[in-house]
Amino acid sequence: MKKVEGGLSHSKWITGYHKRFRLRERTKCFKTCSKCGEVRGIGDFDKDKRYKGGLTNICRACRSAYNRERYLAQKEKFLKRAKVWRDKNKEKRSIYEKDYQDKNKDRLRLLAKEHYKRHRTRIIEQNKKYYKDHKEACQVRKKLWRIKNKEEIREYNKRYKLEHKITSL
């Protein structure tokens, strides 16, 4: 029998090699989080070229909890920074929002419809309260709308009368 490194027979050496190889391959799928100490799948870690293996050493759950705590501790700072950015980039934001709305018109319409269905009673109450608090302004707005859209109102009334004509027996 042919002997290889360490005085093992060739077949035992190959068997050992394959066991070690399978173990290495299996451990490539798992990683230990340095924060919580749990062994998790590599899918639970974010990609980052700076770390060995190309993945962060803290799992997503721990990173998320850390970021949440940090945000709550420094909420005013984060909100202030966001407001400064929004004020500096008003034009950029408006262009982005317009593009987003154009590209996702159907999706946004569906979301708005679902939101209305879920919160219908609350929305109706808010509208009633607003109308009660701003009655004069609402009436002026209605009057202006009627003046601007006289022709459309006339057409609508004609169509309505034709479609809902009551026939006598």
For range 62-71, the mean pLDDT: 95
**Residue predicted with more confidence, 162 or 20:** 162
Q: Give the per-residue pLDDT at 52.
A: 82
**What does the pLDDT average to over 16-31?**
69
Q: Is the pLDDT of residue 158 over 70?
A: yes
pLDDT at 5 over 70: no
165 pLDDT tier (thresholds 50, 70, 90): confident
Give me the pLDDT at residue 92, please. 96
Give the pLDDT of residue 30. Answer: 85
Q: pLDDT over 90 for what percent of the chain?
A: 69
Q: What tens digit of pLDDT does each residue of 32-42 get?
A: 899 999 989 88
Q: What is the CA radius of gyration of the chain?
A: 33
53 beta partners: none
Q: What is the pLDDT of residue 24?
A: 62
Would you state the structure tokens that stand for residue 13, as one six-digit string?
């050496």
pTM, rounded to two decimals: 0.50
Per-residue pLDDT tens digits for 99-128: 999 999 999 999 999 999 999 999 999 999
Indicate if the pLDDT at residue 160 is higher than 80. Answer: yes
The mean predicted confidence, pLDDT, of the chain is 88
Res. 21: pLDDT tops 80 = no
**13: exposed, middle or buried (C-beta count within 10 Å: 0-12, 13-18, 19+)?**
middle
